[in-house]
Structure formats: C-alpha cells, structure tokens
C-alpha cells in the first residue's frame, strides 16, 4: 500500500519549526490512540467533578501516550490560556534529587490560584504537577514528594509518569490512581504514520513502514521522529522515496551482516587476532556496544540449529546479560565486546 505524494498542508510559521511529535501530539483526550479504558475513565472524572481529581500514576512502555494524555487532560480542564499557570512539567530523570522536590515542586504547590479564567468562567481550584520519568528519582526524593503530596492535597494534584512502576515506593503508589498504558498495536502505528506521511506530502511504502515499526519497537514517538528525520534526507528528491537502508542508518541500527560476520569470526577463528581486529572495526564504526549486544541476542534467538543448539544459545545469552550490566555500570565498550567474542569462541567454537 502506497500513499501518493501530495503537497504539504498549509502551516503557520510556528508549526513549520515544530517537531512532528509536538505538531501531531493529541490536543484532546478523545484523540489519544488505543488507550480507550483509560480515556473513558478520565473523561468521567472531569465530567463528574474536576475538583475531585485524584493523583495519577501512569506507567507503561515509552511512546504509548502517557505524557500526551496528561497534557490533553490539563488543557481540557483549564483551557490553553491557563495551562502554563496551572501546570508544572518536570523531567525527573534530570531533576531527580531531593533539592528539586523541596525547591521547584514545593514552591509551585504553595502558590495560590484563582478560580476564574480570562472569560470569568469557573475553573477547578487545583494545580497539576507532572513528573515525567519519575522512576529515576532517588528514594529520598520520593519520600520528600510523598510528604508534599500529603500536605498540599487540597490545591495540588500530581501526575507521575514512568516506565517501571516497581521503582516507585509503595507510599506514593497508594496515594495515586494507577493506569497502565498498553503497547500500541502495529496496525494503529501504521495508520498514524501513513496519515502523517499523507499530510506532510511524502510517500511511505509497506516495506519501509514494516522496518520502521520494527525498529521503533512499538514506540510511536520514536517512529514519528524517524519519519521526520528521513523526510529531511529525501527532501528535494523527485521520487521522495524512503529506502529501508535509510531507516537503519538514521536509527543507529547495526547491519545484520555485521552481526553475522562477528559471530562467524568468533565461531570459526582459531586466534584472537581476528576477533581483536573485528572488534576494533566495530568500535571505530561508531556503533553502540549496547545496541550491538541487543541485536546479537535477537539474532541468536533465531539462529539455525546447525550453528548453535539451545544449550549454547542460553549460555551465550547469559554472558550477554552480564556484559550488558557491566556496560550500564560504565564498563569500556571495546573490552566488553572482546569479552562477548571470547565467550562465543569458547562456547560455539568449531
């Protein structure tokens, strides 16, 4: 299926310089894709009594609409004019310490607010503090946040957004209404990307979409960002076609032939000199060691039985997990890739 090239829709000067993620971010709760039960619940809360809005905890995979949902809810609740005055957005992965909670969060929670807007319409007498990636916050900061949630509960509501709810302390979870955001279905991501492609005026074929969706791994935000980047590459091209190779290159994916070549050297080589040269080439190519391990593990999972049996696969994957942890702890990428290669030589060597 292919979308014919169409002239881009007319945009304002502001929209012209917006990222597509922001340009196509849902402005209303009804525009949120797939999370039907959550949206219905939030709509009912707003309709019944906005002043009884609870604290929220949104968790789930990245790019499933968590941040977009709370932004759309706040704009629907307060209006675009009052949004900046009544909503504080913080990225807790950058501002994760106890001092930020005591300074920025507490000072915003202490502010008084008017119940009237510019049109003298009554608004709910509450403010909303959005803490994105709050699973990166320290335990001390979370404990301080719990006390602030308790103290300013009459005028301030919190929306905590994270990928892993297990990293949030129980006292905070018990004070929030918890919503789990489901991974988006492939057909919904595909429909959204085709719609954006049509509105922006470039063609996207099925093969390209399938590769892009696989790389984005269900993250709609990542998929939209990739499409915008790829559209800049093809700008001025008469065909305006996006090739699969373009997607892999821009997304930082490692070519599968490179993964296979590395494995074959480890399996068939009798000396470490070839492994050393191949590892040096991978590092000098600028590839991420973490990305390399991820793709190597995926490739091993579907590797032919004549190359590796199940026992060998499990042993290698176990070592990959250990080395991935070392990389997260700051280990040297070159040395860790050498370690992976050495393990494969010992386990799967001919």
pLDDT at 13 over 50: no
Residue 129 and residue 23: Cα distance in Å, rounded? 23
Two tokens at 140?
């001390």
CA 164 and chain centroid, separation:
12
The widest CA-to-CA distance across the chain, in whole angstroms, is 81
Q: What is the mean pLDDT of residues 339-345?
A: 90
Q: What dihedral angle (degrees, nearest 10) is formed by the CA atoms of 135, 140, 141, 147?
A: 120
Residue 133 and residue 218: Cα distance in Å, rounded? 18
When pLDDT is cut at 50, 70 and 90, the band that residue 293 belongs to is: very high
- Is 127:88 a contact under the CB 8 Å cutoff? yes
When pLDDT is cut at 50, 70 and 90, the band that residue 8 belongs to is: very low
Where are the extended beta strands (E) located within the chain? Answer: 56-59, 87-91, 127-132, 156-162, 177-180
pLDDT at position 322: 92
Residues 6+ apart with CB under 8 A from 259: 292, 295, 296, 299
pLDDT at position 234: 66
- Is 295:279 a contact under the CB 8 Å cutoff? no
Strands 87-91 and 156-162: unpaired
Phi, psi of 63 (to 5 degrees): 75, 25
- Is 296:348 a contact under the CB 8 Å cutoff? no
Residues 6+ apart with CB under 8 A from 61: 163, 181, 183, 218, 219
Residues 6+ apart with CB under 8 A from 136: 92, 93, 96
First to last CA, the chain: 46
Residue 161 and residue 181: Cα distance in Å, rounded? 10
Residue 208 and residue 181: Cα distance in Å, rounded? 27
Q: What is the pTM of this model?
A: 0.74
Phi, psi of 161 (to 5 degrees): -120, 130
pLDDT digits (tens, 9 = 90+) for 14-27: 455 678 888 888 88
Reference 284, options 220, 336, 334; nearest CA is 334
Q: What is the mean pLDDT of residues 65-73?
A: 90
DSSP state of 138: -
Residue 3 and residue 257: Cα distance in Å, rounded? 31
Two tokens at 37?
């039960």
Reference 133, options 103, 163, 170; nearest CA is 163
pLDDT digits (tens, 9 = 90+) for 35-55: 889 999 888 888 876 667 889
Q: What is the mean pLDDT of residues 112-126?
A: 64
DSSP state of 101: I
When pLDDT is cut at 50, 70 and 90, the band that residue 140 belongs to is: confident
Residue 190 and residue 209: Cα distance in Å, rounded? 7
- Is 142:168 a contact under the CB 8 Å cutoff? yes
Task: Sketch out the chain's domains with CATH numbers.
Answer: 35-180 (3.40.50.300), 186-250 (1.10.8.60), 256-348 (1.20.272.10)
């Amino acid at each position: 299926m292919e979308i014919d090239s169409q002239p881009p829709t007319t945009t304002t000067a502001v929209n012209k310089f917006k990222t597509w993620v922001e340009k196509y971010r849902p402005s209303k709760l009804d525009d949120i894709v797939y999370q039907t039960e959550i949206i219905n619940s939030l709509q009912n809360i707003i309709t019944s009594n906005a002043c009884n809005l609870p604290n929220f905890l949104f968790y789930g995979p990245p790019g499933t609409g968590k941040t977009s949902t709370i932004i759309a809810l706040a704009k629907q609740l307060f209006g675009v004019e009052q949004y900046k005055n009544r909503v504080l957005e913080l990225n807790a992965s950058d501002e994760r310490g106890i001092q930020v909670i005591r300074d920025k969060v507490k000072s915003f929670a202490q502010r008084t607010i008017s119940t009237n807007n510019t049109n003298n319409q009554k608004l709910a007498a509450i403010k909303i503090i959005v803490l994105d990636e709050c699973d990166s916050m320290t335990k001390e900061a979370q404990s301080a946040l719990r006390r602030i949630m308790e103290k300013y509960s009459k005028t301030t509501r919190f929306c905590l957004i994270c990928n892993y709810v297990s990293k949030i302390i129980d006292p905070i979870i018990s004070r929030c209404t918890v919503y789990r955001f489901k991974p988006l279905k492939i057909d919904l991501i595909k429909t959204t990307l085709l719609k954006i492609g049509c509105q922006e005026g470039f063609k996207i074929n099925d093969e390209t979409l399938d590769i892009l969706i696989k790389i984005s791994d269900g993250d709609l935000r990542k998929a939209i960002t990739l499409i915008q980047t790829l559209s800049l590459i093809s700008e001025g091209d008469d065909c305006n076609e996006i090739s699969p190779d373009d997607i892999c290159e821009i997304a930082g994916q490692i070519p599968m032939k490179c993964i296979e070549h590395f494995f074959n050297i480890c399996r068939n080589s009798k000396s470490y000199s070839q492994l050393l040269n191949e590892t040096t080439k991978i590092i000098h190519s600028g590839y991420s060691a973490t990305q390399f391990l991820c793709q190597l593990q995926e490739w091993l999972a579907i590797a032919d039985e004549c190359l590796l049996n199940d026992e060998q696969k499990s042993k290698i994957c176990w070592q990959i997990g250990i080395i991935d942890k070392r990389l997260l702890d700051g280990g040297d990428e070159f040395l860790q890739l050498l370690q992976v290669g050495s393990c494969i030589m010992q386990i799967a060597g001919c």
